[in-house]
Amino acid sequence: MSNWALALTYILPTIAIIISYRERLGLERDIIIGSIRAVIQLSIIGLILKFIFSLDNVFITSLILLIMVYNATLVAAKRGEKIVHAKRISFVSILLSLIITLGALILVKAISYTPGEAIPISGMVVGNSMIALGVLYKNLADSFFDRRDEVEVKLCLGAKPREAARGLIRNSIKLAMAPTVDSMKTMGIVQLPGMMTGLILAGTAPEIAIKYQIMVMFMITGSVTIAGFSASYWAYRSFFNDKAQLYDI
């Protein structure tokens, strides 16, 4: 694809800008700024990745992954305003999901720990875990607000906080996983995923692209589950005091 052809694809965001203007959605400025930022940021990261890939240094690769986890932590924690230690919970949960997922892929020799493979794969793992935690935090807070009486009744009957909140925790994990599970069900029928499409457009044989996409599907499912499970069974404690009583939400 030539640079001129790439520039002409801005016709599509332009359509969005026109619709936003005509319907008075007020998104024109955000779309323009967002598209400009995306081009600049991706261009810069492209140059940085090219340099990092050429170094092929384990320490630098690990440092990049930690930076990715930290940035994802800040975004996820914003959704957890009612969660005590949301940043700490998010960081540990996302990092845990990355270590287990990346470790499993390296162990079975699906990928190697090189910057050209570890960084792109980690980006997908960290990004999806971040989104899942945002959904989980919001649902957990809403559930404790909407089902407060239910939890208090269980506490009065002698249940421990974890037992009283178990239904809310499980529901939050389920909702955090739902987009990933739904995507997995429709993959290949309703949608051709971005990674597979990109590889095919780049000239990779479809059967090879499919193998990588299946790996990505499996790793995202696992990482989202690990992050959600870890965060939920830590975050629910934020709604109880030292006397096993619910805080006012």
Inform me whether the pLDDT recorded for 3 exceeds 90.
Answer: no
Percent of the chain with pLDDT over 70: 94
34 band by pLDDT with thresholds 50, 70 and 90: very high
C-alpha to C-alpha distance for 72 and 69, rounded to whole angstroms: 5
Inform me whether the pLDDT recorded for 249 exceeds 70.
Answer: no
Q: Which residues pair with 187 in a beta bridge?
A: 191
Locate 69 and state its tokens.
């986890």
Query: Is the distance from CB of 193 to CB of 216 less than 8 angstroms?
Result: yes
Write down the pLDDT at residue 176: 86
Q: Which residue has the higher pLDDT, 229 or 188?
A: 229
Task: Give 119-157 pLDDT, tens digit per residue.
Answer: 989 999 999 999 999 888 888 888 888 877 887 778 788
Query: Is the distance from CB of 195 to CB of 216 less than 8 angstroms?
Result: yes
Task: Give 52-105 pLDDT, tens digit per residue.
Answer: 888 888 999 999 999 999 999 998 888 877 788 889 999 999 999 999 999 999
Cut 0.75: pTM above it: yes
Least confident of 96-100, 155-159, 166-170, 191-195: 191-195
Write down the pLDDT at residue 190: 63
The mean pLDDT of the chain is 86
Least confident of 163-172, 190-199, 224-233: 190-199
Integer CA distances (angstroms), 16 to 4, 8, 48, in order: 21, 15, 31
Residues of the chain by 3-state class (helix, strand, coil), percent to 5: 80, 0, 20
C-alpha to C-alpha distance for 167 and 82, rounded to whole angstroms: 19
C-alpha to C-alpha distance for 96 and 93, rounded to whole angstroms: 5
Backbone angles phi, psi at 246, to 5 degrees: -75, 140
C-alpha to C-alpha distance for 76 and 249, rounded to whole angstroms: 20
Write down the pLDDT at residue 244: 64
Write down the pLDDT at residue 36: 93
